[in-house]
Amino acid sequence: MDVTVAADRAALVKARDSLGPGRIALVPTMGALHEGHRSLVRLAREHADHVVVSVFVNPLQFGPHEDFSRYPRTFDADLRVCEEEGAGVVFAPSAEDMYLPDRQVEVSAGGMGGTAEGAFRPGHFDGVLTVVLKLFNLVRPDVAVFGQKDAQQLALIRRMTADLDVPVSIVAAPTVREPDGLALSSRNRYLSEDDRRTALALSRALSAGAARARTGPAGVLDAARAVLEEAARFDPPLLLDYLILADPATFAPVGGDHRGEAVLAVAAKVGTTRLIDNMVLTL
């Protein structure tokens, strides 16, 4: 299937109008597409007649010491993925086309954006929500698909659409993992062989916590923390940023007597690469 590339707003309007009648699904990405992204596009096709994939490395969600300049950019390969998975349009704007030079207004993620990932990356979720809202306004999709791997991002996007009455249905796609359990990420390509062995502690910790779900929050966290503490002694070591058992809707830490659904989320650095992962549990 041929895919239309829209490199700016005007081209996007023309490409969108050429899709014809039917529901439109948006899959926002920063490129460097892998099997996880393929699963997003496949799920989008189940929910709509046409799929638009955005490929845009959003500068607003990177901090001053983060990896914006080295974030992988593989547009030709990304385009092939979109063609193979049946996307109709790829929207690949420049930062100059997305943002006015005298930009003043951004979306605030509020207190919900300051916990867990937001505590370690101040302003990150403001940048995420700003670009997502802009993409919603530009593409005008009926539905948008996001990965469960970015659980806090997913929760915040759902909250934004509810709080601001954005007429887009949000669909979550399950996390796709490699055979050894490592969650697929564009940043996995930065891992050396030794880094990767250490990084596997993330998924092992989540599984250990999930196995203790019947014991309640304390048991879940203790089991996961034990795996992570062991990995801190590996070479290279796993350097933990946070381990949290959170309400999936608000991402606030759950209380000791919590029952029902919760998200066990972890973030850590291995070598020069920072990774996140999570698992949804029923306590």
- In this structure, is residue 224 part of a structural domain? yes
Binding-site entries for beta-alanine: 61
Token pair 């919603």 in the structure block, residue = 136
- Structural domain including 273 reads 188-282
CATH, residue 59: 3.40.50.620
Instruction: Indicate whether 157 and 115 sit together in one domain.
Output: yes
- Predicted confidence (pLDDT) per residue in 189-235, tens digit: 999 999 999 999 999 999 999 999 999 999 999 999 999 999 999 99
Pick from 173, 201, 225: which residue ends a domain?
A: 173
Residue 178, domain member (yes or no): no
pLDDT in tens, 75-111: 999 999 999 999 999 999 999 999 999 999 999 999 9
Preceding omega of 236 cis (within 30 degrees of 0): yes
Going by their DSSP bridges, the two strands 143-147 and 24-29 should be labelled as: parallel
The binding site comprises 30-37, 61, 147-150, 153, 176, 184-187
Residue 264 falls in which region: left (phi positive, over 0), alpha (psi -120 to 50) or beta: beta
Residue 131 lies in a domain: yes
State the average pLDDT over residues 233-248.
98
CATH number of the CATH domain containing 219: 3.30.1300.10
Q: What pLDDT sits at residue 213?
A: 97
What is the Cα gyration radius of the chain?
A: 19
Q: Of the residues 173, 197, 232, which one is the last residue of a structural domain?
A: 173
Specify whether 15 is located in the same domain as 120. Answer: yes
Neighbour order of strands in the sheet with 238-246: 238-246, 261-270, 273-282
- Residue where a domain terminates, one of 120, 147, 173: 173
Q: How many domains does the chain have?
A: 2
Residues marked as binding for ATP? 30-37, 147-150, 176, 184-187
Question: What's the pLDDT band for 65 if we cut at 50, 70, 90?
Answer: confident
pLDDT band at 58 (very low <50, low <70, confident <90, very high): very high
Catalytic residue ranges: 37
Please report whether residue 183 resides in a domain: no
At 1 the pLDDT is: 63
| pLDDT reading at 166 higher than 90 | yes
